[in-house]
Amino acid sequence: MRKKLFLFTIILFILFFLKTNIYYTLRSYIVMYPYSYYNKLNSIPYKRNIRFYIPGGTITKEKDWYPFVLTFNDNEGFSRYAGRKLSLTIFYNFGHFRNGFSSYYDQNSRYYSSFYGGYVIYNSKDADDPYGFDIDGKIRIKELESIPRYDQTRLVLPSLGCPEHKIYFKSKIDKIEYNIEYLGINDWVKIDSTVVTNGPNHKYRKKHLGYIQYGKPPDNYSGDDFPLVILKGRIYAKYFDDYKMTIILYIVAPNIDTIENCDRNILSKCKINYYSNANEKT
């Protein structure tokens, strides 16, 4: 009798837990951390002995971003998209969880539809032909723009169930600055832009993979599915000849204040260098 009562109590607890907001938050942390770590071990920087560190949300005192930066590799997909053999590692972070879902969904949050992180691109076939830059070190703006475009239209939005015919992405350059010193490293190109694309909000109809990391969309959402939003974007791009790879740091958010805040308090704390010894990689 006691065993049956204990089992019944456990079942009730599990059913109650599955209906609480904390379930979706913990599920995201528990699933995404090991998956991201696996991708990190297969990432371009790690395999080429490069330390590429981007701080997570815990670096600040306020509740702003997800606790840790996630890693994802997409060599084959991006190679098909770009029409040449490339390797791509994506580092990304999004708004913190609240009420069981990420503020990435919250239209009233300054982290609505926001990301920050980095891209690392390696031309495995011809290291002397860097992606996003020509042989003279000048930027190829269409190539640089294609990376966030690919990320948003082929990875992020489809993971949330956005129909292909509805996916939209258009960017406009607002300002380009050359010879920028950033992270104590010279010769970055800084580009500020305006982006029009789909926001993540939509009515829940069935499960999608994206819900594992962002949580389900808000139950009370009654607007259009994946409405167009106007966002501000910033990237720092540089081809590292020593590493034979293009590195991009990026922020996208609804307003420039969020970008400046993230740039100052998080992105500017990134570190890029060779691992000094084997133990540092573990």
pLDDT tens for the chain, 282 residues: list them.
Answer: 444 443 333 333 333 444 556 888 999 999 999 999 999 999 999 999 999 999 999 999 888 999 999 999 999 999 999 999 999 999 999 999 988 899 999 999 999 999 999 999 998 766 668 899 987 778 999 999 999 999 999 999 999 999 999 999 999 999 999 999 999 999 999 999 999 999 999 999 999 999 999 999 998 898 999 999 999 999 999 999 889 999 999 999 999 999 999 999 999 999 999 876 656 665
What SS3 state is found at 54?
A: coil
In degrees rounded to 5, what are phi and psi of residue 255? -145, 160
Amino acid at 254: P
Please say whether the beta carbons of 189 and 178 come within 8 A.
Answer: yes
In which element (H, E) is residue 257 found?
helix 256-265
Q: CB of 266 within 8 A of CB of 60?
A: yes
Percent helix, percent strand, percent coil in the chain, to nearest 5: 35, 30, 35
First-last CA distance in the chain: 49
Q: Residue 49: how many CB atoms within 10 A of its CB? A: 12
pLDDT of residue 220: 87
Amino acid 6: pLDDT = 38
Q: Helix or strand or coil: residue 19?
A: coil
Q: Which domain holds residue 217?
A: 2-281
Number of domains in the chain: 1
Q: Is 183 exposed, middle or buried (0-12, 13-18, 19+ CB in 10 A)?
A: middle
pLDDT at 59: 94
Q: What is the pTM of this model?
A: 0.90
CB 209 within 8 A of CB 91: no
Answer whether 99's CB lies under 8 Å from 242's CB. Answer: no
